Amino acid sequence: AQKVTQAQTEISVVEKEDVTLDCVYETRDTTYYLFWYKQPPSGELVFLIRRNSFDEQNEISGRYSWNFQKSTSSFNFTITASQVVDSAVYFCALSRMDSSYKLIFGSGTRLLVRP
């Protein structure tokens, strides 16, 4: 069975603080994909990153960075120097590495960045 756990329900930070959103996953597959999505108040899902299981290199994109640790089944997301526009719900997701791309989502972390 596949499962994604985002233990942090809600995080509140002051602008310019760094914040890390945790994601822990469970799967019996040896190959899989991990994702992060952002859902602003308007509701749409904004794709942030996809990582495949055999690539453990950390990735940085501007103020965003991701730390993939296969040994601990974690795929954490850090926002550096947070901004008010980063306020949203962030979802971590998992999918099998097949043609289905069926996503299993975590429960989401609501991030509030206060000015």
Partner 1 sequence: GAVVSQHPSRVICKSGTSVKIECRSLDFQATTMFWYRQFPKQSLMLMATSNEGSKATYEQGVEKDKFLINHASLTLSTLTVTSAHPEDSSFYICSASRDRNLGTFGSGTRLTVV
* Residue 13 CB, nearest approach to partner 1 (Å): 20
Phi, psi of 71 (to 5 degrees): -65, -30
- Binding track over 12-51 against partner 1, x by CB under 8 A: -------------------------x----xxxx-x--x-
Best CA proximity match to 9, nearest among 99, 76, 90: 90
SS3 state at 83: coil
* Residue 80 CB, nearest approach to partner 1 (Å): 25
- Positions 85 through 104 that interact with partner 1 (CB under 8 A): 91, 99-104
Best CA proximity match to 7, nearest among 90, 112, 100, 80: 90
61 binds partner 1 (CB under 8 A): no
* Residue 101 CB, nearest approach to partner 1 (Å): 5
